[in-house]
Structure 1
Amino acid sequence: MRHSRPTYTDAFREQILALYRSGRTPRELADEFQPSEWTIRSWIRKAEEASAPADISPDREELLRLRKENRRLKLEREILAKAGGLVRSGDEDCAPVFRFIDAHRATYPITIMCSLLNVSRSGYYAWRRRPPSARSRADAGLTKRIREIHAASYETYGAPRIHAALRADGTRTSRKRVARLMRTAGLHGSSRRRYRGAPKPRPPVAAPAPDHVQQDFTAEAPDQVWVADLTQIPTQSGRSHLAVVLDVFSRRVVGWAVASHCRTNLVVDALRQAVQSRQPEGVIHHSDRGSQYTSILFGQRCREVGIVRSMGRVATCYDNAMCESFFATLKTEWTHRQSYRTPAEVQLSLFSYIEGWYNYRRLHSKIGYVSPVAYEEAHAAEETHAATCRALRSSPARAA
């Protein structure tokens, strides 16, 4: 089917020109009626040329020519600025250029855009008539699914985690394709702010514990090594403080507490929650040398439940890098994107993030892009299967 341009009667053109003379702009007329802005401007120019006197002086004719050339140059510069480097050269794909032309055909003349961007008008019209390819239809369906995953992650997932979520759903695709479709759709993951804080000096009376971790944040099973730390969360009524306890094996938050102060009771509350939920035996509790963790009260609580204390060096964030990484993730994906009025709002917000999202649903890159709870459940299933196999091998019937 051949492409046909719309035809307008002389009476229609006269009405448009009358509206223009009454004070309406070509853009307003193009938004209200069918002709494009460039077409209306062409009618206005022809009408002005027709009403101009026939005996034009050479100087006047040169002035009109220069004005026309100046309008053309301004138009070309505006098109090239919006095209953003889409000028085609060689055997490059024409589809991005054609999409740009199609998106701006109501504002700029197609002939000028095709000439500037080094494509043919016939090629553009053939592209418009051509049905979407199978690849384009597949990209559209995949983009829809990417948008759903991105929205479900509170708009925090980038291409790696969205790719992992697609693989978990059974969708086979490459990470680069996911990144390309996210760029096209204007989607992006959350990024971290740059922050540099000054370390606080340790009180002279504090008694640090030895470092049993030595920056080796690995464990063979849950509840072997815990890491803990404190951070601040600003609110409109002052600062709130968050204390957390993480399991090194699964990166799961096993204990946390929020308060408007950063006294020792805050870290004791986080430890109490971790002990109640996990019931550990001989777990190593690693932290920095903050006054809360070196206090007598915290040391007594650790001895009461059989926890071995471990502490890193002063002003060395790498000695507690796992907790620092969690706080960076928390602030990037959650707290920096919200505003809190009171500590009570902080408490509810962190409950939603930690218990509703981070532990149970968020895909963690260090444990194979699964959630911490799913990682622990998979480990428990493997341990149960291994114990069953050992029991079968050692049974009397098997031996006989």
Structure 2
Amino acid sequence: MVLRLLKIPKSTYFDWVHYVETNRQREDTILIDLLRDIWQNNYKAYGAPRLRLALADLNLHHGTNRIRRLMQEAGIYSVMSRRFNKPTTTVDYSQRPNLIRHLPAANAWSMDITYLKLSNGQWVYLASVLDLRTRHILSHQISTTMDTRLVITTLQRALSTHKKPTYLHTDMGSQVH
């Protein structure tokens, strides 16, 4: 009578009374507990890819998407975020037109500085001189400081072993003032 008043089919009631958890649901429950333990024992820093690898070490192989779903259900999330904050320099490019597309391919070099982050978190700077015709690096130098001296010594090294170019292109960074 209650089912009829609430307009609920009898089958819904009997499905609820005779409910049996599926194997997948039982596995998910066990996995959530295991994921939570691994996550907490690793400073709450592990995300789905690392948790998947940790499970693989225990000879449990599950997909990253399943682990993500279970993490979301359990409220597990990595407290880590991507730590990439590249040092910046400021240059007023409105005063310097981009002429590289007008350079003849015959005898032109290009210079640039690349930022490299070491495993200990320290930044180093790689300056290089590229021959635009042959696409070969003519000289390079690494330094812990990004200054004019780094640029000048790299260029001097290239000039000491190669013929002076007709054109030299740089992005006119703050080191070339």
**More strand as a share of residues:** 2
TM-score range, shorter chain: 0.3 to 0.5
Structure of larger gyration radius: 1
Q: Which has the higher contact order (CA 8 A, sep 6+)?
A: 2
**More helix as a share of residues:** 1
